[in-house]
Structure 1
Amino acid sequence: MSCAGGTERGFTLIEILAVIVLIALFAAVLTPNLFIGSERDLDQGVERMRDLLSSVGEHSVFSGELMGVRLEEERVTPMRFDPVEQKFVPFGGASRSGLGTWRLNDDLRLSWDLESPEEGDGRDGQSGFGLAEAAESRLVAGEDDADRDERPQLFFFPSGESTPAQLNLELLGSERLPVRMRLSALSRVTVEEDD
């Protein structure tokens, strides 16, 4: 049946193009905001990592405890050496805010490299590296294989020294370079800026 006096009408090319342009504008406005949110997650992750490492170092100095940090790609666990059990145990408790296990966001990944300083390289890393080797050799005597697998990679000593390391925090799926952080043998955390 046809309408009397009228024709069937569809969308014109101009109307279709107008809808496509509006969709493209909305996508252009929303997409950068999603990416900026991820960039913000990376920046916040770097700050949280720096604060966590600094807090563990400070706690070690003020409490006199041997502390450690267990690093995994998706998790960072502060630990303390338990003299009764003669092994490292996760550090936590309600009264110790900021020193609980930190699970990274799904889009962040952590990698690290423990530094082995060369003789006479001018860095302050030698003393902390020597202490870390001494702490490890002391721990090996009382450990079984399961304890060894759960041992921290970074050690913080009551003397204010730590294991020197380079840590990289990466935003997955981003063209942004990983953010590099350096932990010195004097427990100082610095963030290296992108070149």
Structure 2
Amino acid sequence: MKATTRQRGFTLIELLVVIVIIATLAGMATLSLGNSEGRNWTGEVQRLANLLQLVADRALIDKAHLGVVLEEDGYTVVRYDNSAMKWVELDFADNPASANARRFTSHELPQNMRIEVLSQTELPGANSSDAEFGREKGKGSSSKKDSKEALPQFAALSSGEVLPIEVAVHLLKNEKVARSAVVSYSTLHGMELEWLSDEL
């Protein structure tokens, strides 16, 4: 007597599982390809948050007053020069390959990102006519604004205290804000990072 061989196909559940796996992989691939702007923005937010923490730590270790001058399109780390009695940009001309040079050099944001200072604590001397918070980039050296001392909006003192600040980093799409995150730092709470929104 001849044994009959039974042909076995895929069950409905097996087919559904395969379809779900393929759909999930396709969705992940689409997100990873189309969301490079979002990843770059997230990286910039983390970079700024890490820099504020690093500046606060270095000020305490080096027993120096350090600060960050924030502009719409970037930021610069500065140090208070006791002899000149003003804030000056850090100079790494002697050792440009050092770790500190890489961490503390001026940084410019991509064109589709902006920084907005939401709140800050005024430094002593901020009302001076020769000093102002931030500076405008792209101005000629003969500009009256460039000749003024640029005061940092975020300052970390040698005592370990910091002047509190709250900064928003925006990702722009078609000239409008698509995503925002708020970085805040204070002596009491330390670093706080809040992701406000995804695509609007």
TM-score by length of 2: 0.64
Spell out, residue by residue over 1:104-133, the C-alpha distance to the aligned partner (whole angstroms, 9 max, x if none): 112211111224xxxxxxxxxxxxx4xx54
Q: What is the SS of the residue equivalent to 1:109?
A: strand
By percentage of residues, which structure has more strand?
2
Q: What is the SS of the residue equivalent to 2:103?
A: coil
Matched, 1:113 2:113: no
By percentage of residues, which structure has more helix?
1
The CA distance in 1 between the partners of 2:189 and 2:159, in whole Å, is 10
Counterpart of 2:69 in structure 1: which amino acid?
R
Name the residue aligned to 1:190: 192
The CA distance in 1 between the partners of 2:146 and 2:177, in whole Å, is 38
**Contact 1:72–1:110 (CA<8 Å) still a contact in 2?**
yes
Spell out, residue by residue over 1:24-82, the C-alpha distance to the aligned partner (whole angstroms, 9 max, x if none): xxxx9998555410000111001100111111111110111111110101111000011
Matched, 1:177 2:166: no
TM-score by length of 1: 0.65
The CA distance in 1 between the partners of 2:196 and 2:146, in whole Å, is 39
The CA distance in 2 between the partners of 1:175 and 1:74, in whole Å, is 14
Unaligned runs of 5+ in 2: 1-26, 132-143
Stretch of structure 1 that moved more, 32-41 or 101-110: 32-41
Aligned length: 151
Judging changes above 3 Å, is the alpha-carbon distance between structure 1 residues 181 and 74 closer, same or farther for their aligned structure 2 residues? same
Name the residue aligned to 1:91: 90
The CA distance in 1 between the partners of 2:66 and 2:188, in whole Å, is 14
Name the residue aligned to 2:139: none
Matches of residues 1-195 of structure 1 in structure 2 within 5 Å?
33=32, 35-93=34-92, 94=96, 95=98, 96=100, 97-115=102-120, 129=121, 132-133=122-123, 135-136=124-125, 140=128, 146=146, 148-173=148-173, 176-186=178-188, 188-194=190-196
Judging changes above 3 Å, is the alpha-carbon distance between structure 1 residues 82 and 187 closer, same or farther for their aligned structure 2 residues? farther
How far the C-alpha of 1:192 sits from its partner, in A, is 1.2
Unaligned runs of 5+ in 1: 1-27, 116-128
The CA distance in 2 between the partners of 1:187 and 1:29, in whole Å, is 36
| Overall identity of the aligned pairs, in % | 21
**Contact 1:73–1:111 (CA<8 Å) still a contact in 2?**
yes
Counterpart of 1:160 in structure 2: which amino acid?
G
The CA distance in 1 between the partners of 2:157 and 2:41, in whole Å, is 29
How far the C-alpha of 1:151 sits from its partner, in A, is 1.9
Spell out, residue by residue over 1:128-155, the C-alpha distance to the aligned partner (whole angstroms, 9 max, x if none): x4xx54x336x94986975645222221
The CA distance in 2 between the partners of 1:145 and 1:187, in whole Å, is 34
Q: What is the SS of the residue equivalent to 1:58?
A: helix
The CA distance in 1 between the partners of 2:103 and 2:88, in whole Å, is 16
**Contact 2:86–2:149 (CA<8 Å) still a contact in 1?**
no
The CA distance in 1 between the partners of 2:109 and 2:190, in whole Å, is 22
What is the aligned-residue RMSD (CA, Å)?
3.0
How far the C-alpha of 1:85 sits from its partner, in A, is 2.0
